[in-house]
Structure 1
């Protein structure tokens, strides 16, 4: 183990930023190869080391390899995806329907990261004003897992087009446990150079310099060098 007070080496910094910039929401590139249990354990351990308000650690991890369970989840996805396609018309609807938005059966493992909204009791340090901090904390566990998976060469896809009540019933969750993220995990044939929705023309990445404000909304930042770096990075 390294000393936590030691600075990161250049290679370590590059590895971290590579995982961030090369992380992808994978849907179409999954391979059937099994994830070794020791690798899955490392990824889950990384998720479990996410920060959480009041150190409540509200997450649980449901590892799903049952075909029967995944088929039920896929059925819910298909129903919700058909509804979602009705939000669009014409060419936009055709584009939407052409997108592959899940890898539920293709990936060797599905994983549901849940949020126990009762964990830590009624009064959790740091949660007095913003009650959703347990949900936000669980999102950080998702991000930790995603970056660790990318470093291991494993793709992750978040399936968000699901009815949460139906998913809760499928996974037999207690009433106080919320299914925050349903993920597909597996080795992939490739990691795309761009996010798939960007390469398919659905959305483009917004310019970072348009999203950074100075002191209050809509005000320019006073740091000219920072502004230059934001535009050029």
Structure 2
């Protein structure tokens, strides 16, 4: 598939065929492509938890779903995904890297960073997985783990303290799914979001 077509076809998919697992070779390509994301100082401070066994996926949904919430609507379709990948960022990897002699920030002060590049870089790795999924004929969806459920998620999967889940990605073969109502907002045009030379106040 041509790259332009991959970009145009990418959208968040919220329902999957539970009877078609993602082939192991495709899973490996998804993860390998994710590791080609840019990272500040080539810190590569990310970690990916792969959940492709039914018991592990069930544990993920149990840990991350607020109690009393029935798996209906979008959640029901999401739970049918045969693959869940949880990307994590590691701030310490960046602070350690930039304390090395070629960078020299030996105080390891997070305040030196104008934005949390550890989260941004892991987000870019996630986007590469989303694009790879489209290129492989799959659907995928990036979504957040509710803040109040993160500790339960960590406990369920033994996630080390230095790694922070920035969200999760469901991946699988698409089932006929409804389009998000948010799409009715329409895509903003290039002219609406691009400013050349000076920020327009229009």
Whether contact under 8 Å (1:24, 1:191) holds in the other structure is: no
CA distance in 1, matches of 2:68, 2:167: 17
Q: Per-residue displacement from partner, 1:182-224 (whole Å, max 9, x unpaired)? A: 11111123588xx53345x4x432233222223343347xxxx
CA distance in 2, matches of 1:112, 1:98: 22
1:79 aligns with 2:66: yes
1:63 aligns with 2:50: yes
Instruction: Quote the residue 1:90 is aligned against.
Output: none
How do 1:153-172 and structure 2 match up within 5 A? 153-162=137-146, 163-172=149-158
Instruction: Work out which of the two has the higher radius of gyration on C-alpha atoms and give 1 or 2.
Output: 1
2:118 to 113, 122, 134: 134
The count of residues paired between Structure 1 and Structure 2 equals 189
1:108 to 82, 92, 97: 82
CA RMSD of aligned residues (A): 2.9
CA distance in 2, matches of 1:141, 1:167: 21
Instruction: Quote the residue 2:136 is aligned against.
Output: 152
| TM-score after normalising by structure 1 | 0.69
Q: Structure 2 unaligned segments of length 5 or more: list them.
A: none
Whether contact under 8 Å (1:61, 1:113) holds in the other structure is: yes
Q: Structure 1 unaligned segments of length 5 or more: list them.
A: 1-11, 83-96, 221-233
CA pair 161-176 structure 1, distance change in 2 beyond 3 A? closer
Instruction: Quote the residue 1:187 is aligned against.
Output: 173
CA pair 72-38 structure 1, distance change in 2 beyond 3 A? closer
Q: Equivalent residue of 1:141, what SS? A: helix
| TM-score after normalising by structure 2 | 0.78
Q: CA deviation at 1:180?
A: 1.4
Instruction: Quote the residue 1:21 is aligned against.
Output: 8
CA distance in 1, matches of 2:176, 2:76: 16
How do 1:176-215 and structure 2 match up within 5 A? 176-189=162-175, 196-198=180-182, 201=184, 203-215=185-197
Q: Per-residue displacement from partner, 1:98-141 (whole Å, max 9, x unpaired)? A: 85146453111111111122114435259843350111011110
Q: Per-residue displacement from partner, 1:83-108 (whole Å, max 9, x unpaired)? A: xxxxxxxxxxxxxx985146453111
